[in-house]
Structure 1
């Protein structure tokens, strides 16, 4: 129960986006082509789907200090936004999702600065992992090192079949520092994870699907956004579900995976108890009775 409460504190149920959270921020009000992080709030039948687009072409979306800070600020805002039902993270730079750490910037850092930066990057991936809504990564290009660690922090991953993925840090005589050594084994098992980590192997989207690193691998199209389009299809499929239920499913799975099966049943029981008194549950029953689509409000 302690673990469940801890995660719930880190990833709270949706609350309205406050004025204080948006003051001084242009993330949601403006989308300049030069911004390293561009946010699209989709409308009409896609209302509730929000897309974060990484847009740092000069560095192939590599993680530098400023980029990580802007990304972190964005995630903090989305965390408390009740209108965001599903989040998709993609790249707006053709041919690359994220090239990992900005090694040119890294070369100018002291040992202490490197440790501090990697800690900030790890905190960013943890904050994405603990977002209350489902998060989908669309990999329409290379996701290497920290780029793949970012994708691993998402709930679901879609890759183009020709995307290049890998945790390549061992080739630079370092190790993944943004959660890769912990998340990859939970996806593919310890033995395969060690093989991929020891070798720093780079593999394509099809092999990633075979390994279990991604949920779907799709053939790339002429516009080079096949993974994003498949991610949108997944988001559309999830969108009709109740947002509180989605949050609690995510909590039950994530916390339960870190527990024995007996504790997992207790975690599921506690999560279910939080669904029972919601207005959304009553709306679901009424919609079923009236043979109509439910109108969930996250209440």
Structure 2
């Protein structure tokens, strides 16, 4: 779904220092770069970062490569005036109904692969974020945005429903009533509103947004990677089976973390230097 009149008029925001650090692993509409322990996935298909065949193919390739060689954290961001104006409507016009189930199963697989990454994942939304892009944001662990960023699952405008898992993931974060409201009305909601709903985790100012989002994700990348992975596993177990399921798996998981180098070094540093120790984590 492309933006309506005025939706593409958001101010241009400069890229974050280090956001394109290192050599690019992916060319085309999606760039995969590295800044030390942080992987940065940047949508850059002007003017609207639409999800067309090329964008989806690039996302499929990127999440597979990340799964095969996970970073210590991932930042998803976008260049341009908008994060994404959503799905190119030509996709719906060209899709053979006989092939629709497999088509959407493959797109759902991108969402699931992103969600399964063992590292912390952060989606940074500086402006308009529609349909497929919003659904992928909801598959990330954390979402950061500007107060004025606008989010929408606006598929009802073409008589459709979100098909990459956005509805159910929005219901997880904000509750089923809010999910029905956002999807059924097709309205746009600001970052400040979604922060109140618990969908957006942090709000940053427009002028420094990309730098702030990058620093936020880099801080996670430099943290106790194995412990972060364990936290993700506990939350996933809770979402799949409730508190009893998470309780059952936690002792063995905690034992694994106990054996990590980061944990052992941090305990020693805490006892020696106190809680403000500066021992760096190594992700092991």
What is the TM-score with the length of structure 1 in the denominator? 0.80
Deviation at 1:35, TM superposition (A): 2.1
| Structure 2: unaligned runs, 5 residues or longer | 1-20
User: Which whole-Å CA distance do the structure 1 matches of 2:26 and 2:236 have between them?
Assistant: 36
Structure 1 runs (4+) deviating above 4 angstroms are none
Report if aligned partners of 1:138, 1:157 keep a CA contact under 8 Å in 2.
yes
* Residue of structure 2 in register with 1:87 after alignment: 74
2:158 counterpart of 1:172: yes
* Residue of structure 2 in register with 1:38 after alignment: 31
- The 5 A counterparts of 1:37-116 are 37-42=30-35, 47-58=36-47, 60-81=48-69, 84-92=71-79, 94-116=80-102
Judging changes above 3 Å, is the alpha-carbon distance between structure 1 residues 32 and 242 closer, same or farther for their aligned structure 2 residues? closer
| Structure 1: unaligned runs, 5 residues or longer | 1-27
1:5-46 superposed Cα distances (whole Å, 9 cap, x missing partner): xxxxxxxxxxxxxxxxxxxxxxx985499721112211xxxx
Q: How many equivalent residue pairs?
A: 261
Deviation at 1:194, TM superposition (A): 1.2
1:170-209 superposed Cα distances (whole Å, 9 cap, x missing partner): 2221111100121011100111211112111211111221
What is the TM-score with the length of structure 2 in the denominator? 0.84
* Residue of structure 2 in register with 1:286 after alignment: 268
Deviation at 1:137, TM superposition (A): 0.4
Once superposed, what is the RMSD of the aligned Cα atoms?
2.3
- The 5 A counterparts of 1:231-250 are 231-250=213-232
1:100-156 superposed Cα distances (whole Å, 9 cap, x missing partner): 212123312211343333222111011111111000000012111111101101100
User: Which whole-Å CA distance do the structure 1 matches of 2:263 and 2:203 have between them?
Assistant: 34
